[in-house]
Amino acid sequence: MRTVLNILNFILGGFFTTLGWLLATLVSIILIFTLPLTRSCWEITRLSLFPYGNEAVRVDDLYPDQRNVLMSTGGTLLNVVWFILFGWWLCLSHITTGIAQCLTIIGIPVGIANFKIAVIALWPVGRRVVSVEVAQQMREANARRRFE
């Protein structure tokens, strides 16, 4: 089912949003001061292309033992730079594509996936794209850790 939905996403506009993410990735490589954004950009490019079967999770939740205040502060600053340069127009592209997809009954699930990615597009630094299974295992491990 994931494969069918990923193909449907690609056909109904996911290709264009993925091109936007690829463009943002290339620009972040070219501009030296945005080089730290490149990994997050590439991760979300993958999520934009294959939204089903993948999920964006926070690095702090994925690796709770490696939390670092300095990295969190730097990530916040990078997210502000991201929002100014790329975030707002990538968010708008996902919202526009999601609305267009929701106009057809068959495109509603894909449109909802685009709305989820639009939220991530605003603040992507500090997120990694993992499979849904890994994300579920992470949540279960974090829940066990909280109750211990």
pLDDT of residue 114 exceeding 70, the answer is yes
Q: Alpha carbon of 62 to those of 12, 28, 144: distances in Å?
A: 31, 25, 14
Give the model's pLDDT for residue 103: 92
Give the model's pLDDT for residue 68: 61
Average pLDDT over residues 58-63: 72
131 three-class SS: strand
Q: Alpha carbon of 65 to those of 59, 62, 86, 90, 108: distances in Å?
A: 10, 9, 31, 32, 38
pLDDT of residue 146 exceeding 60, the answer is yes
Give the model's pLDDT for residue 67: 64
Q: Are the CB atoms for 56 and 128 separated by under 8 Å?
A: yes
Say which residue, 83 or 142, is predicted with more confidence.
83
Neighbours of 73 (CB within 10 A): 10
E strand or H helix at 127, and its extent?
strand 127-131
pLDDT of residue 131 exceeding 70, the answer is yes
pLDDT of residue 99 exceeding 90, the answer is yes
pLDDT of residue 130 exceeding 60, the answer is yes
Nearest residue to 74 (alpha-carbon basis) of 33, 128, 27, 46? 33
CA distance 142 to 124: 21
Say which residue, 62 or 93, is predicted with more confidence.
93
Reading the block at residue 117, the tokens are 């990615």
* DSSP E strands, 8-107: 54-58
pLDDT band at 41 (very low <50, low <70, confident <90, very high): confident
* Lowest pLDDT segment from 24-33, 71-80, 121-130: 71-80
Reading the block at residue 68, the tokens are 């670092």
Maximum alpha-carbon separation in the chain: 47
CA distance 11 to 122: 24
* Lowest pLDDT segment from 24-38, 59-73, 96-110: 59-73
Question: pTM score, two decimals?
Answer: 0.81
